[in-house]
Amino acid sequence: MSLAAESRQTERALTVTRVLNAPRDMVFKAWTDPKQLIKWWGPTHHPATQLDMDVRTGGRWRNRLTSVETGEDLWHHGVFREVLEPERLVFTFTWEEEGERGVENLVTITLEDLGGKTRLTLHQVPFQSDAERDGHGEGWSSTFGRLADYLRQSPNAPPKFGEGRIDISRVFDAPRALVWKAWTDPKMMAQWFGPRGFTSSVPELDVQVGGALRIVMHGPDGNDYPMRGEFLEVTPPARLVFTNIAIDGDGNHLLEGETTVTLTEQNGKTTLRVVSHAVGKVPMAPQMLAGMEAGWTQSIDKLGELVH
């Protein structure tokens, strides 16, 4: 391989970082226990349906992903190069359907202890094109979302006062860079966030993994409705994942949730998908959850008006 080709592949390296609300030992176990791994491995549209893993240095692994839409199977396999419990995994990754043309990637998973939480960082090389790298990035981001959902499931979780979930997609006649800015610039976000009739201020928007988010919606009834959160994943200009916690004036949690924002661009237009899940933490929460879909829909309508 020429030096120029090596340089291009290095530039195309994929890095995805995600903060998980679980201790490092628990996350490492989820990566290395096949009984746990099959519950979250693979993106939402292609979950794992079979896997074989020998988790040791030199051990082999082979997994099958199955499309939820077509039933098509995709096989991939590799070899563990390093297994360092509980902080590091290194393995090769090859798609089998590409045959001899398949490029062997090297994937490094690093787990950093954040005192009860875990920062997961994935690094993957090499890639032959930007499109190949970006496709893997979307797949890993979706996979890590499933991992986060899996880790949140606990028999010891506190009681919930209702749950809500929205999944909204919209196509904007605007470039992805502009829509990304509307989500990451506090001045722009303040112009569209919140239902119609509400205004908003965004006193804090630190768009990096672990960065804080604070929004205050000012209602037509004269009351303020604050929300805070933390960015769990930031992949410019394609994906944001953050927690969203509705609080009262004393800082008590009313709702706790997580929101995933995905942006894809084609022919100068941008497809936005917002998936948000929230659980009630107080008896009054069901009333708030009942307005969740309408609130997000109206906010996204306002966003569309802003970027057009």
Domain ranges of the chain: 3-152, 165-307
3-state SS, 127-167, equals CCCHHHHHHHHHHHHHHHHHHHHHHHCCCCCCCCCCEEEEE
Instruction: Return the pLDDT at 1.
Output: 40
CATH architecture, domain defined by 3-152: 2-Layer Sandwich (3.30)
The pLDDT, as a whole number, for residue 144 is 92
Question: 245 is written with which tokens?
Answer: 């916690």
**pLDDT tens digits, residue range 31-41?**
999 999 999 99
CA distance 42 to 45: 8
Residue 160 has a pLDDT of 76
According to CATH, the superfamily of the domain at 165-307 is START domain (3.30.530.20)
Q: What is the reported pLDDT for 86?
A: 97
Provide DSSP, 82-144. EEETTTEEEEEEEEGGGGGGPPPEEEEEEEEE-SSSEEEEEEEE--SSHHHHHHHHHHHHHHH
Residues of the chain where predicted confidence (pLDDT) is lower than 70: 1-11, 98-102, 154-159
Q: What is the structure's pLDDT at 191?
A: 97
Contact residues for 5 (Cβ-Cβ < 8 A; gap 6+): none
Q: What is the pLDDT of residues 41-87, one digit of tens each?
A: 999 889 999 999 999 999 999 999 999 889 999 999 999 999 999 99
Global pTM exceeds 0.75:
no
Domains 3-152 and 165-307 fall in the same CATH topology: yes
Q: Residue 65 and residue 137: Cα distance in Å, rounded?
A: 16
